[in-house]
Amino acid sequence: MSNQTPNPAAEVAVTGHVYDGIQEYDNPLPGWWTLVFYLTILYSIGYLFINFAQPQWVDSNFEYEASVAAELQRQFAELGELEPDGATLMSFLSDPEQAKWLKVGEAVFMTNCVSCHGRDGSGVSGPNMTDDHFLNVAVLEDIPKVVSEGAKEGAMPAWGNRLGKNEIILVSAYAASLRGLGLPSAGGRPEEGKVIAPWSAAASK
């Protein structure tokens, strides 16, 4: 066994150039390393292409949104097809078992309604829903009607083509649940329209 250190200068070729007397060994990177390096470049080109052409392959948001949509579908299947009547709406307001659906209504409200009605429902360009005064609503079932058909020549948009039937009913129930929160300190809009009777399952005349 020799423990003699080999003299590098004797075994390794030099590149031939000299900088301030310093020479450089001609010591190429191992082949496997160079190969991996070129593979990373190829991979990045492929990744860049996929990122723009097929983003759902690399972006987990797509997977997330698909599973959220699937979960909503599953929940809506459990709900069945709701009727936009006072009794149905009242059940979401008064039955604790059903109250979880207000969360779904709240999500619809946060996505579509807050720009005009405010995050807390106290009104921006659209009226305050936290007081007892209403412009287009006398009984509960008027709410899904207004939401579907809109009001004031589109100042309140019609959501009938943009939201599902159940979504309209759940967002209506959520809007109804804001009543009585009376948020005078939250800014919002002053009372508009007439004072109406407390919510009940009654049908409109």
What residues make contact with ligand HEC under the rule CB under 6 A? 109, 112-113, 115-117, 125-127, 134-137, 143, 146-147, 151-152, 155-157, 159, 171, 175, 193
Minimum CB distance to ligand HEC smaller for 50 or for 116: 116
Q: Nearest 10 degrees: CA dihedral of 116, 120, 122, 124?
A: -30
Rounded distance between C-alpha atoms, residue 92 and residue 119, angstroms: 20
Minimum CB distance to ligand HEC smaller for 97 or for 153: 153
Q: What amino acid is encoded at 197 in this protein?
A: A
Minimum CB distance to ligand HEC smaller for 84 or for 127: 127
Rounded to 5°, angle at Cα 200 from 199 and 205: 100
Please report how close the Cβ of residue 152 comes to ligand HEC at its closest, in angstroms.
Answer: 4
Q: Which residues fall within 8 angstroms of residue 177, CB to CB, at 6 or more apart?
A: 92, 93, 102, 105
The candidate with the shortest Cα–Cα distance to 105, out of 185, 159, 27, 55, is 159
Please report how close the Cβ of residue 143 comes to ligand HEC at its closest, in angstroms.
Answer: 5
Minimum CB distance to ligand HEC smaller for 55 or for 187: 187
Q: Is the dihedral of CA 150, 154, 160, 162 positive or negative?
A: negative
Please report how close the Cβ of residue 163 comes to ligand HEC at its closest, in angstroms.
Answer: 6
Minimum CB distance to ligand HEC smaller for 86 or for 127: 127
Please report how close the Cβ of residue 94 comes to ligand HEC at its closest, in angstroms.
Answer: 19
Q: Where are the strands (E) in the chain, listed by range?
A: 14-19, 22-25, 133-134, 194-195
Q: What are phi and psi of 18, to 5 degrees?
A: -130, 125
Please report how close the Cβ of residue 136 comes to ligand HEC at its closest, in angstroms.
Answer: 3
